[in-house]
Amino acid sequence: MEALNLLLHGFAVLLTWKILAMMLVGLVLGIFVGVLPGLGGPNGVAILLPITFTMDPTTAIVMLSCIYWGALFGGAITSILFNIPGEAWSVATTFDGYPMAQQGKAAEALTAAFTSSFIGSLVAVLLITFLAPRIASFALQFGPPEFFAVYLLTFCSFVGLGREAKHKTLISLVLGLLLAAIGMDTVSGRLRMTFGFDPLLRGVNFLVAVIGLFGISEILLTMEERLALRGHAASIKLSVVLKVWKEMPRYWVTLVRSSAIGCWLGITPGGAIAASFMGYNLAKRFAKDPSTFGTGRIEGVFAPETAAHASGTSALLPMLALGIPGSGTAAILLGGLMVWGLNPGPLLFVEHKDFVWGLIASMYLGNVVGLIIVLTTVPIFAAVLRVPFSAVAPMIIVSCAIGAYAIQNAMFDVWLMLLFGVVGYVFKKIGVPLAPFTLALVLGNRSEDAFRLSMIGSAGDMRVFWSNGLVGSITTLALVLLFWPLIGRIVAVVRRPQHTAQA
Amino acid sequence: MAETDTEIAVDDPGAPDDSSPAVTSTRSVELAVYVALLALALLLGFDNWRSGAGWAKDGPQSGYVPFYLCVILGAASLFGLFAVLREPAAPAKTFVTRDQLRRVLQVFVPTFAFVALMQWLGLYVASFLLIAGFMRMVGRIAWWKSVVTALVFVLVMFLTFDIAFDVIMPKGPIEALFGR
């Protein structure tokens, strides 16, 4: 097994004191990020990205991905103890997790949440270990038309499969692509949409936008709500952990189902949020007594947590293999890759073996260490919520400003961050999704380059996107997904007369 | 067993009142956003058309892709505009209540001032003022707690970024006194 050898090599890369220490720091910071209101996973990663600029890429990505694992774990703590989801993907965990805490079974619920998170991500990491190298080696044959088709597929699936109003998703996507095009055109060297304003020459930085959209706007939104909270303090004893683990095999069907849902939604741009709800709903539908869900069933904690973690982890698969992130956080990690001078895409597996396998190995190690940390230190992290928001909010704002400034040492970026904060606040309140914007902004230049290179190669003939079986089927699939809601409606219209005729 | 008898409770004295009157409806904000996006699409579309949105000998010109993106953005905004206008007006969904807006401005105004001050005073002094001021004025936390918290946080940030990781932040007159 070649993958296993490479994985062992990855572990060898990891085992230095510096990397292990950074992993630990990343995990602890991540759990904080997950617990604190107004500071999400994508945001925490974006703010902390600047401190990794001086590290080597492997250490940097290991630390950042550990922040992400930590945030995934941390979200469960507040959901269960306080009925406040620290992250959107832990909303479904509150349904049964909080009732369990009210019945005095907080420790069981927390153990169940952490353990199932661990299982979900383990399944996803196994998938990455064995599938990602194959996809990458297959993608090595891709030319610009194939890459453009894959980008198109990503964008179209957002519009076609997203839950939000189609025109809002489209606006978000196109706006991201447009902002990505501001500044120097990489093919012709001409300036675009700068209006003679110098700071725009470098374009709109992706990370600055993310810090504003997710950091500043989240603070504004959080301030709107009543911030009073009341919840349970809990510590986890070893006997409780062992008891839950002994019960766990009984729920293997739920765990397997949620892992599969999570992996699928993680690889396609569905995301951890959709996965956690779907995992919960399916567990409920297939249960013998669905009415007991929501009253504090341990299965209602297993199902969403497994799915959320499987999805959050497998979102890194397309990022590693193709250079296309499966989630907002993966998009930020991708932005990081470019800052560290790595070119995301299938070549990573050939040119940067240490980096890729170090990262994959860190997913195994990070999840094991993360599980141990959260199981032992829950009381400390729960107590973080005692810190009043009026102290946390300005600190988050300062961290955001440091992050935005440090990316290019530009004051203009800090103002831009503030602007994106307001835009994010308004967009979230009128239901314009931000994930397509993020993805479009990070992939904008690469997809446009792929398009233009294909056009140059084919002398302007659009048929290049159907020139062989592979690129043709991806392009067709993309268009089918884009018009999926329309197709569904036509099918419904065609079918309805028959039904009425029968009746 | 979990010790559920020990509870954690935090109150929020300045919380927005649920009965506070609405400042504006979601519908009006949506309309404003679509109009703004339409204007943006026209402006950027014009700029790209000017710089060449057609085909050159060797493929699409630099304005080609963004120009058509502007067309899509404009079309989607128009669609949104008509979709909102066609909806029945009542009952209007509240975008933000007066209390909520007050709270949002309580963070936004100091943040704006912080960014403006950062250019003259440097990041660290501005951060100290923001944190201490916000905790004292908005959070009504004892002034000595506010000052100590702000001081410690700013110091940790300075040691982490400027010293440990060599990420240099903008400085002002006070740092200059210490020769940094």
Distance in angstroms (rounded) separating the CA atoms of residues A208 and A46: 8
For residues B27 and B39, membership in a common domain is answered with yes
Question: For chain A, what is the domain count?
Answer: 1
**Same domain, residue pair B40 and B54:** yes
Domain that holds residue A318: 2-395+410-502
Chain B residues closer than 8 Å to A430 by CB: 26, 29-30, 33, 95
Q: What is the pLDDT of residues A230-262, one digit of tens each?
A: 777 777 788 888 888 888 888 888 888 888 888
Strand stretches in chain B, DSSP E: 7-10, 22-25, 55-56, 59-60, 94-97
Q: What is the pLDDT of residue A498?
A: 56
Q: B103 and B128 share a domain?
A: yes
A53 is a domain residue:
yes
Residue A154 belongs to some domain of the structure? yes
Q: Are residues B170 and B107 in the same domain?
A: yes
Interatomic CA distance for residues A178 and A171, integer angstroms: 10
What pLDDT does A37 receive?
66
Compute the nearest-CA separation of B6 from chain A (Å): 6
Centre a 10 Å sphere on the Cβ of residue B106 and count the other Cβ atoms it contains. Answer: 17
The secondary structure element, H or E, covering residue B7 is: strand B7-10
Q: Distance (Å) from the C-alpha of residue B72 to the closest C-alpha of chain A?
A: 7
**Sequence-separated (6 or more) residues with CB below 8 Å from residue A400:** A47, A211, A212, A215, A216, A417
- The number of distinct structural domains making up chain B is 2
pLDDT at B38: 92
Task: Say if the Cβ atoms of B134 and A106 lie within 8 Å.
Answer: no
In this complex, the residue of A171, A240, A432 whose CB is nearest that of residue B73 is: A171
Scan residues 19-78 of A and list those with Cβ closer than 8 Å to B.
50-51, 53-54
What ipTM does this complex have? 0.90
Chain B interface, best mutation among A49, A51, A53, A167, by max B CB count within 10 A: A167
CA A304, distance to chain mean position in Å, is: 16
How far CA A209 is from CA of A203, A440, A503, in Å, comes to 11, 12, 55
Count CA atoms within 13 Å of residue A241 on its CB side: 11
Q: How confident is the model at residue A82 (pLDDT cuts 50, 70, 90)?
A: confident
Is B12 inside a domain boundary? no
Question: Which residue in B131, B119, B107, B127 sits closest to B170, CA to CA?
Answer: B119
DSSP code, position A232: E
Boundary of a domain, candidates B44, B64, B95: B95
pLDDT interval class at B2 (50, 70, 90): very low
Residue A287 lies in a domain: yes
Q: Is B171 helix (H, G, I), strand (E, B) or coil?
A: strand
Q: Is A402 inside a domain boundary?
A: no
Is B156 touching A (CB cutoff 8 A)?
Answer: no
pTM of this structure:
0.86
Place of tokens 């709903």: A281
Cβ distance B26 to A105 less than 8 Å, yes or no, reads no
| Per-residue buried b or exposed e for A1-34, using 16+ beta carbons within 10 Å of the residue's own CB | eebeebbeebeebbeeeebeebbbbbbbbbbbbb
Q: Residue A36: which residues within 8 A CB-CB, separation 6 or more?
A: A86, A384, A385, A392, A396
- Interval B3-19: pLDDT, tens: 444 566 776 766 777 77
Enumerate the residues of chain A whose CB falls inside 8 A of the CB of residue B61. 188
Cα–Cα distance, A204 to A378 (Å, whole number): 40
DSSP A327: S
Is the residue at B161 inside a domain? yes
Task: Tell me the pLDDT band of B112, cut-offs 50, 70 and 90.
Answer: very high
Choosing from B95, B117, B137, the residue where a domain stops is B95
Q: Is B7 domain-assigned?
A: no
Which range of residues forms the domain containing residue B140? 98-177
Alpha carbons A408 and A391: distance in angstroms, whole number: 28
Query: Going by DSSP bridges, is the β-strand pair B22-25/A183-184 parallel, antiparallel, or unpaired?
Result: unpaired
Of A63, A62, A95, the residue nearest A76 (C-alpha): A95
* CB contact at 8 A, B13 and A118: no
Are B34 and B67 within one domain? yes
Question: Pick from B77, B95, B113: which residue ends a domain?
Answer: B95
Taking the CB of residue B26, how many other CB atoms lie within 10 A of it?
A: 17
Report the SS3 class of residue A218. helix
Determine the Cα–Cα distance for residues B120 and B118; give it in Å rounded to an integer: 6
Q: How far is A280 from A93, CA to CA, in rounded Å?
A: 8
| Per-residue pLDDT tens digits for B32-59 | 999 999 999 998 888 888 887 777 777 7
Provide the residue type at A406 as one letter.
A
| Whether residue B27 is found in the same domain as residue B86 | yes
